[in-house]
Structure 1
Amino acid sequence: MNINELIFKLDDSYSEDDFYYITSFLNALNTAGKSKNTIYSYFRDLKVFFDFKNNNELLKKIPINNLKPININIYYSYLVSEKGNSTISINRKKYVLKLFFEYLIEMEVLTKSPIPKESIIKSKSKVKAKLPTYLEIDEIQKINNSIMDYYKDKFAKSRDFFIINLFLHTGLRISELISLDIGDMEKTKKTDFLSIIGKGNKERIVPINIEELAKELHDNDNLIEKYLEYRYAMDTDDDALFVSHKGKRLSARYIQIALKKIISYSNIGKDITPHKLRHTFATHFLKNGANLRLVQEVLGHSSISTTQIYTHSNKQDLMDAMKKNNIKY
């Protein structure tokens, strides 16, 4: 991760100390093995705080090691009243700021964190947990049909069909999918296991049989095999599994844009991203009988509490379960 590229985003309102503290914090995250996306996300949230501090007449005069809880509360109020941030966004910014100040304590810059304690008088209003958006089976079929119907380019059709269904049947993160090499798929076809290097550089194994997947998808045009044939025939030095017409590894942005077009063609009325395809995999995996620990392992979650967001049910699921499993006389 090139920390300097992020630091260049800071303007002249930042003091030398601020530059040093932020750079040091980002380097610590990098050393700890945090992903590029995580480091950028933390930097972005931290920048919101420092931009506010440096533009506030009261706070800009206060050195970082003299900040008090009341000063931080002014920032929290700003996030609500002026920025209009959601509760989820505010909680994330609070977490990053807390982590930053804890790091400064560890560095002996601070003796005590200025993060305010939660009020002893708890608010009655609770944040309603947002359930993950996922695709129903008929919506997945519409997406696959839209690829069949709207794509004229045979190479792009076979590649994007493969990409979408690999997301849906493995739960890969977009960063994991674009990092796959052609050699990974060769091993998978021999072993029926896909080896993934996920967050924190941890390896995990995801079972998948490519031939069985094609049958399950009723891939009568053999789009997955055709893509692999196209890929093997390409004259390119890039080892990537998924490439452009020019033989270059696809970027995350490229896949996000392609998926957006596919969703608009399919007319399913949902805002679907690659991460929501991951939600879809996890939700159906659980619905079809997998236990939470298995889902955690396949998704590469370090904590099972992260996996638990997929245990949502709809009213019909509850009704069916009650009829089937309730006390019988």
Structure 2
Amino acid sequence: MQKRETRAPSVGAAAEEFLTHCRVAKGLSGHTLRAYTIDLEAFQGFVGGDLAVDAVGRGELRAYLAHLSEERGLKPASVKRRIACLKAFFRWLEMEEALEISPFHRLDLRIRLPKRLPRGLSRSEMRALQAAARRPLALGKDWREASAENGPSLRVQLQTAGCFERPGAFDRLTTLLAVELLYATGLRVTELCTLSDLDIDQGRRGPVLRVKGKGDRERRAPLPDPGLARLLKLYRQARDGLIEPSAAADPVAPPLLVARRGGPLTPQSVRARLKRLTQSARLARPVTPHMLRHTAATHLLEAGLDLRFVQRLLGHGSVATTEIYTSVSDESLERAMGRKGVR
């Protein structure tokens, strides 16, 4: 944006340029751009889109905060997100010299969030969810150890279930693999759905997923479980022999997990599948993909994995973010001791 000597741009015009900057120059995700658009439209609705950006001062910001919290009754997390968007917007205006100084400069707007521990599943709930995912395929709980030596191999069991010839059975296999991968790696659902075949490397102990997380930071998620590695390999074979890739799919980097029509599995589809599994498992609360991420982190720490390793697996920028799961583990310990009558 060129510096204007005569008149500062309006909030509406500046917001459009800011969103273009975020899309083109910063390459933000579609999800983030949609959130920024909603937040900026809400602010324009309050102050007026024709208002010059240099007319927005501390009074308007404080009034808007009160409007969001008291009149709109938004939760603190939603208020914090909208204010964070405005901070980024005015910081950009300042850098573009459309403003001499941001109205947020030295402005104390503290939004206290209630302390909430991540909601994960207990081990018994996770077992029930996994059982609900494998039940339609008639897989027993020992499917990871299945081999020709100790009974029907995993390939034979999946062939018997029709995974290599019936789209419906293959779709149920997709659900099972999605649940197992989310629990084994703690991936975000968007990270899972954007994986392609090219993101699978072979490590010394098994497959390793190359994951692109927030801020385009890349990390590696190993799959040392031989059973899960076999399931992943057989899934790809069934997919390639049964499902025609959609026209939108990248022929060089086909999506790892696919829907029935050959396109990549979507986060919305994963959420819908988990909702059905929750009902099938008769769990008392709905399960979301992010709950599986929390569950993975908590169970890994309870199993003794080092905090720094869990941080790397989840892709947290700071170990302080990962440390919250130690509180969850402590709470689980207290509940378990209470049930056992330990004093």
What's the TM-score once normalised by structure 2's chain length?
0.74
Q: Decide which of 145, 165, 190 is 2:131's aligned counterpart.
A: 145
Aligned ranges 1:202-281 → 2 under 5 Å = 202-209=217-224, 211-213=226-228, 226-234=234-242, 236-237=244-245, 238=249, 239-281=254-296
Distance 1:100 1:74, change over 3 A: same
Going from structure 1 to structure 2, the CA distance change for 1:104 and 1:249 (only over 3 Å counts) comes to: same
Give yes or no for the alignment of 1:180 onto 2:174.
no
Instruction: State yes or no: 1:43 paired with 2:37.
Output: yes
Aligned-pair Cα RMSD in Å: 3.0
C-alpha displacement of 1:100: 1.3
Give me the whole-angstrom Cα distance separating, in 1, the residues matched to 2:37 and 2:282.
36
CA distance in 2, matches of 1:94, 1:202: 25
> Does the C-alpha gap of structure 1 residues 180 and 16 become closer, same or farther in structure 2, counting only changes over 3 Å?
same
Partner Cα distance (1:232, 1:103) in 2 = 47
Cα–Cα, structure 1 residues 157 and 110, in superposed 2: closer, same or farther, change >3 Å?
same
Distance across 2 between alignment mates of 1:304 and 1:43? 31
Q: 1:203 to 1:316 in 2, by over 3 A?
A: closer
| CA shift digits 1:251-299 (9 cap, x unpaired) | 2211111111111222222232112211111111222222332222111
Equivalent residue runs for 1:1-329 within 5 Å: 17-30=10-23, 31-54=25-48, 62-115=51-104, 117-118=107-108, 127-149=113-135, 153-185=168-200, 187=202, 191-209=206-224, 211-213=226-228, 226-234=234-242, 236-237=244-245, 238=249, 239-313=254-328, 314-315=330-331, 317-318=333-334
- Spell out, residue by residue over 1:210-245, the C-alpha distance to the aligned partner (whole angstroms, 9 max, x if none): 52437xxxxxxx865653332121353441111122
Distance in 1 separating the partners of 2:28 and 2:318: 16
Q: Aligned to 1:91, what secondary structure does the other structure show? A: helix
Whole-angstrom distance in 1 between the partners of 2:84 and 2:30: 18
Separation in structure 2 between the aligned mates of residue 195 and residue 20 of structure 1, nearest angstrom: 40
For structure 2, the 5+ residue unaligned runs are: 1-7, 138-160, 162-167, 338-343
| Distance change >3 Å, CA 172–CA 146, structure 1 → 2 | same
Residue identity matched to 1:20: A
Structure 1 residue matching 2:283: 3-state secondary structure:
coil
CA distance in 1, matches of 2:279, 2:50: 50
Question: 1:27 corresponds to which letter in structure 2?
Answer: T
What is the alpha-carbon distance in structure 1 between the residues aligned to residue 88 and residue 216 of structure 2? 22
SS where residue 10 of structure 2 aligns?
A: helix
With 83-92 and 34-43 compared, the bigger mean Cα shift is at 34-43
Describe the SS at the equivalent of 2:195.
coil
- Alignment length (residue pairs): 291
Q: Contact between 2:177 and 2:232, CA under 8 Å: does it hold in 1?
A: yes
CA distance in 1, matches of 2:185, 2:331: 27
The structure 1 segments of at least 4 consecutive aligned residues displaced by more than 4 Å after TM superposition are: 185-191, 222-226, 318-321
Q: Structure 1: which 5+ residue stretches go unaligned?
A: 1-14, 55-59, 215-221, 322-329
Give, in angstroms, the shift of residue 84 of structure 1: 0.8
Q: What residue is the counterpart of 2:155 in the other structure?
A: none
Q: 1:291 to 1:249 in 2, by over 3 A?
A: same
C-alpha distance in structure 1 between counterparts of 2:289 and 2:61, whole Å: 35
Q: Whole-Å Cα distance in 1 between the matches of residues 9 and 51 of structure 2?
A: 14
Deviations 1:52-74 (A, max 9, x none): 222xxxxx674221122111111
| Distance in 2 of aligned mates of 1:108 and 1:145 | 59
Q: Report if the CA contact (8 A) 1:260-1:273 is conserved.
A: yes
Q: Tell me, yes or no, if the aligned pair for 1:159 and 1:224 is still in contact at 8 Å.
A: no
Cα distance change, pair 300–260 in 1 and its aligned pair in 2 (3 A): same
- Residues 252 and 100 of structure 1, relative CA distance in 2, 3 Å threshold: same
The 3-state SS of whatever aligns with 2:219 is strand
1:140-159 Cα offsets, whole Å, 9 max, x none, are: 11112222345794212211
Q: Secondary structure at the match of 1:196?
A: strand
Deviation at 1:103, TM superposition (A): 1.3
Contact 1:35–1:199 under 8 Å retained in 2: no
